Structures are given as structure tokens and as C-alpha cells.
Amino acid sequence: MKPTIRAVLLCAAGIPPVTALIVVDAAYWPVSVFFMLFVLLVGGVDALLCPSARALMVTARPPGQLNVGRDGVLSLTVAFRRTGMAVAVDCLLDVNDVLTRPPLRRVIVPVNTETEFDLALRADRRGMADVEAIWLRWRGPLGLFQRSHAVQGGRIPVIPDVNLVREMEIRFNARDAMHGVKVQRQKGEGREFNALKEWRPGMDTRSIDWKQSARHRALISKEYDVERNHPVVFAFDTGHLMGEAVHGLTKLDHAINASLVLGWTCLQGGDRVGAYGFNARMGAYATPTGGRSGFVRLQGFGAELDYSVDETNFTLGLGGLLGRLDRRSLVIVFSDFVDTVTADLMIDGLRRLAGRHLVLFVTFRNVELEGVAESMPRGAKGLAGSVIAADLVQERRIVTRSLEQMGILCLETVPGEVNAALVNQYMDIKRQGLI
């Protein structure tokens, strides 16, 4: 128990008038004694009426896990025994750097009644979130003295966000429930022949079967099914550039979330998914696997990817992946670069990888840098910053064009649009039979 700011102000407020009385006439010195006794009496009554920590009953229920970038709640149940008044309780969490510290929460606990409330939790990084302590503080009825008590919160694993995948699965299952479960054929430019159909303007002229067209005296085209069972490997650059926070999450976490969405789509389409991580060294590798186990494995792999402050060694990292793939695969590389100088080794590694596999390079646009380059500069300093930003944006475009000239597919988008853009790019690849 300790005094509050109100108690200190009460004592300080009485000192000037008491001092003034004694200065005017020393006979008024008993007033100071009475004032001290009054303060002690009021403070003692408030201290006695303030509920003790032994009367407090608190139960904490932390969530089983948190999704990175998503809000969660920690539920608390608070009650005071043997109290004849409602108590205002302030609650504050002591957390590690994985969690964002929530603001102070004040609740009113009625007389002899359990009060349940939630404290918001948000993790902007993957890892193990520690709620080291839950601090509760309450005051006496006069607000002169306060007590505090701490309870243990627990540890909460923070995993990649799978909510978008769950929403996709719900929509998929709901559609099947309404219309029946049946084999879904995806039409495209694969190698598995499906049927003949009349050619229409706008269709690819390469699909025309001239022999069948002569027999039917009309243009007839061949229709193919998209091939399945292709390996799709997600390669994650976990270097320091991917640790930069964009829209509340690191680029690496945005990449992992996007891979889960696309991974689920690939598995639904009959392909197999794998994963690989690298930075200054070669990281873990998960061989492409199909079915539900493939998604569980991909989710676990993403949860275990660690952040790194090292500069990425693309020669070693991409070379190690090239040595582990024994079949032509779709390799989706999530990475980032600054300029043409730092991208030289990355371009060389991607070029060697694209010699045997289909490579899709995914990076995130630097919207702030583009904004500086396009804004009207103010003053000499603003002009210099605008010129530098424009040069960096131009160099990023040069790198992208160089990769595209090597036959590497490039996708540069903002984090909020990467999921849809990546799925659309995958569908185009499947439809054109590029793997």
C-alpha cells in the first residue's frame, strides 16, 4: 500500500495556510498539529476501507495462440470478497517485445460480483509472446491510498495468419455443400487433352485442330485440362531487408501470410507445396508435399522462420535450393533489394535458378519512396531527397526489367494486395502450362 498523488496534494494544500497562521501569530501552532492529525485520520480511514490483496480473486485466460497482425484477447475475471462497495480497478499488462503493449484499462467491479472483461492483444512479430505480469491497482473510497497486485499471464505462441485461408476454405466448402461434390476441371493450355469444341473469335489459334476442322467443315479447337501434381516451392529471404515493417507487419510476415493463401490454393488444385528459408546461410528445407499434411507442414515451417539482421547471401542461399530440387518446379522467391549494386548477386542467383525451374520473384513496392520521388520538393534538402528517391525507384525498375528479360516472372505489389495478385499469377501460370 502506498499513498496516491491525491494524498500528497492534500498534505501540500494545507501547508501554506497553516504556515501563514503561525507567521501571523505563533499562538496558532496547535493548528498544524490538528491538521496533521486530520490528515492521518482521513488517510487511515481510507487505508482501512481499501480492500486488501487477499480479498482479490482474479483469473486470467490467455488465448491458446495468436495470429501475427491480428487482434486477440486475454480474458480476466476479477472479484473482491467481503467488500461493501464497488471498486475501480486499473489493469495493465507487462509484455515482451513480441506484443504491442495495450493501454491502461479501468473497470468497475461491483460489490461481491465477478466482473469479466477482455484486454486486447496484438502481435506484430512471430515468436513466443510473454505476458510477464498482469498488474491490478485499486484505491480506497477517498482515493488517498492504493494497493497493487500482480498475477502471472503466461506464454502465447504467435503463428502466421491463417484466417484468410480459413475464410477461403469456408467459401469452398459452402459451395460444395450447395451444389454437390464433384471433380473440378480447370481448363487451360496444359497437355492433358479434354475435348473438342468449336473455335470462337478470341480463342488461341494455336489450339485449332486442322484435321478435325477439315472433317467437320468448321474450325474446331482442342481443349486441355490444366496439369496437376507440380512441385511449388516457396523460398523466403529472411535477411535484414525483409525485417522492415510495412503496414504494421514485417515484409517477411507478409510473405509468409501470402504463401499460406497460395499454398492452400495450390493444394486444392492438386499440386504439392514445399518451403525453403535462407539469409547469410542456407536454412531449413521442406520437401514438396500434397494434401492436408502439406498445408500443416507449410504452416509449421512459416511459424519457425526466424528474423535475421544479416545481409542475405543469394549465391549460397539460392545455390543451396538449386541443389535440392530434382524436378522442374515453380519456385516463388520472396525477397527485396535496394538498388542495382546490391541486386547483382541476387540477379545472378535467380538466373541460375531459372535455368532449370520456373521462377516467380515477389517483392514489395516501397510506397513511401515512390511518394517522395513524385512529390513536389521544398527547398534544397527536399530537392536532393526527391532526386535520390527517383534514382532508387528507377534502379528498382531496371532490376525488374533485367529479371523479366531472363524469363523470370516478377510481381511487385503492396502488402495489402499481394494475396490476390499472387493467386492470380499462379492461375495464369497454370492456365498457360508454364511449369
Q: Each residue of 390-402: pLDDT tens digit? A: 888 888 889 999 9
Helices (H) and strands (E) in the chain, counts: 11, 21
Q: How far is CA 355 from the centre of its chain?
A: 33
In one-letter notation, the amino acid at residue 415 is P
pLDDT of residue 252: 93
Sign of the alpha-carbon dihedral angle for 168, 173, 179, 185: positive
For the cut 70, the answer to whether the pLDDT of residue 184 exceeds it is no
| Closest by CA position to 144, among listed 31, 11, 32, 13 | 11
Q: Which residues contact 381 (CB under 8 A, 6 or more apart)?
A: none
Higher pLDDT, 19 or 243: 243
Please spell the DSSP secondary structure of 298-314, one letter per residue.
Answer: HHHHHHHPPP--SPP-H
Provide the pLDDT confidence category of residue 187 given band limits of 50, 70 and 90.
very low
- pLDDT on residue 385: 75
Cell digits of residue 267:
493444394
Whether residue 163 is predicted with pLDDT greater than 50 in this model: the reply is yes
Summarised one tens digit per residue, pLDDT across range 258-283 is: 999 999 989 888 899 999 999 989 98
Q: In terms of pTM, does the model score above 0.85?
A: no
DSSP type of residue 55: G
Using a pLDDT cut of 90, give the percent of the chain over it. 25
Cα 399 from Cα 340, distance rounded (Å): 6
pLDDT over threshold 70, residue 192 = no
| Beta carbons of 419 and 249 less than 8 angstroms apart | no
The predicted structure's pLDDT at residue 180: 42
190/272 Cα distance (integer angstroms): 17
Contact at 8 Å (CB) between 18 and 35? yes
Q: Are 435 and 328 in contact (CB under 8 A)?
A: yes
Q: What average pLDDT does this structure show over 52-56?
A: 86
Could you give the domains of the chain?
1-159 (2.60.40.10), 191-225 (no CATH), 231-432 (3.40.50.410)
Q: Which residues contact 173 (CB under 8 A, 6 or more apart)?
A: none
Per-residue pLDDT, 178: 41
pLDDT score for 224: 60
Q: Flag whether pLDDT at 177 surpasses 60.
A: no
Residue entry with cell 501563514: 20
- Write 246-251 long-range contacts (CB < 8 A, 24+): 246/364, 246/415, 247/414, 247/415, 247/416, 248/69, 248/124, 249/68, 249/69, 249/124, 249/415, 250/124, 250/125, 250/307, 251/334, 251/336, 251/364, 251/415
The pLDDT value recorded for residue 235 is 96
- Output 168 or 378, whichever has higher pLDDT: 378
pLDDT digits (tens, 9 = 90+) for 80-96: 887 778 889 999 999 88
pLDDT at 185 over 60: no
Distance CA 171, CA 242 (A): 32
Distance, CA of 380 to CA of 390 (rounded, Å): 15
Alpha-carbon torsion angle 84, 137, 90, 69, nearest 10: -140
pLDDT tens per residue across span 118-127: 988 988 888 8
Q: What percent of the chain has pLDDT over 70?
A: 91
Quote the pLDDT of residue 356.
92
Average pLDDT, the chain: 83
Distance between CA 252 and CA 157 in Å, rounded?
17
Which pLDDT does position 181 carry in this prediction?
A: 37
For the stretch 323-354, pLDDT in tens is 999 889 999 999 998 878 878 899 999 999 99
CA end-to-end span of the chain: 70
Any residues with CB less than 8 A from the CB of 264 and at least 6 apart, and which? 165, 168, 169, 295
Q: From the CA atom positions of the chain, what is the Rg in Å?
A: 33
Contacts of 24 (CB under 8 A, 6+ apart): none
pLDDT at 295 over 70: yes
Instruction: Give φ, ψ of 116 to 5 degrees.
Output: -110, 135
Quick one: pLDDT band at residue 40, thresholds 50, 70, 90? confident
| Whole-number Å distance between alpha carbons of 230 and 290 | 10
Rounded to the nearest 10 degrees, what angle do helices 379-405 and 344-354 cross at? Answer: 20
Q: What pairing do the DSSP bridges indicate for beta strands 282-289 and 272-278?
A: antiparallel
